[in-house]
């Protein structure tokens, strides 16, 4: 096998894996693509899995940390649920630019790549999220891995203190973080939260009661607040 062919072969495998791990393609979708042209479905499926596994070994050879993830179809949209070393590191809405920014940040800070596979930590998280949507869970009991700057982690810690069924404002979060003049930076850190629902950034609204932005979309934010019994803003500190 020539060196050129080896390089092309390696790049082909890597491109397919990148398509899988960046949500541009899934194993199921690639299976369908090949199935259109070939009836040997079992062999094709094995081929795709082999490519996936080759990619995993490729990243291991590069000394990359491997973050496992799977897509969960929630009632409000698709969530990418990821774990590393038994800890949940991602519960992120897949639509929009914020998701790609969160993925890029995690890859950079953890020297990591994403691998499409489930883990016990991911399955536990999904079970608890389903209970949340069913209205039977108010608190999550999951080990978390926060990936960000110290400032971002401070903001995310403040979000975790917002009780179920209660809203707060960006200004209030800024005050709690001792950064009352950095409301915009606080808002950016909230927007960078890669653990939606688990770290409840949906409970942060505008001073005038408007929902403002949300990575999952305003409709999803309203749905989450409705699940928690919030039809009108009930701010922290109010009776």
Q: Which of 120, 124, 101 is nearest to 198 (CA)?
A: 124
Q: Which helix (DSSP H) or strand (DSSP E) does residue 127 occupy?
A: helix 120-133
| Contact assessment for residue 25 and residue 31, using Cβ atoms and an 8 Å cutoff | no
Q: What phi, psi does 152 have (nearest 5°)?
A: -60, -45
- Choosing from 76, 89, 91, 201, the catalytic residue is 201
CA 128 to chain centre: 15
Hey, what are 31's tokens? 């299976």
In sequence order, the β-bridge partners of residue 77 are 74
**Residue linked to tokens 């639509």:** 95
DSSP 171-213: HHHHHHTT-TT-HHHHHHHHHT-SBTTTS-GGGEE-TTS----
Active site residue 89: no
Q: Catalytic residue positions?
A: 201
């Amino acid at each position: 096998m020539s060196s050129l062919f080896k390089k092309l072969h390696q790049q082909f495998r890597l491109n397919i894996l990148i398509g899988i791990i960046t949500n541009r393609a899934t194993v199921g979708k690639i299976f369908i693509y090949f199935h259109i042209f070939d009836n040997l479905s079992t062999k094709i499926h094995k081929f795709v899995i082999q490519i996936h596994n080759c990619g995993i070994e490729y990243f291991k050879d590069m000394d990359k940390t491997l973050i496992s993830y799977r897509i969960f179809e929630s009632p409000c949209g698709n969530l990418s649920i990821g774990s590393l070393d038994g800890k949940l590191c991602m519960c992120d809405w897949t639509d929009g630019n914020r998701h790609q920014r969160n993925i890029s940040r995690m890859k950079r800070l953890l020297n990591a790549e994403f691998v499409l596979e489930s883990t016990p930590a991911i399955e536990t998280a999904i079970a608890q999220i389903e209970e949340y949507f069913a209205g039977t869970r108010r608190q999550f009991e999951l080990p978390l891995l926060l990936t960000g700057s110290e400032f971002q982690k401070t903001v995310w810690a403040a979000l975790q203190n917002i009780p179920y069924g209660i809203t707060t404002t960006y200004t209030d979060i800024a005050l709690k973080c001792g950064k009352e003049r950095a409301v915009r930076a606080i808002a950016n850190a909230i927007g960078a939260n890669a653990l939606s629902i688990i770290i409840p950034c949906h409970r942060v609204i505008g001073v005038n009661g408007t929902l403002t932005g949300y990575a999952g979309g305003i409709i999803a934010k309203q749905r989450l607040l409705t699940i928690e019994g919030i039809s009108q803003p009930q701010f922290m500190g109010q009776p």
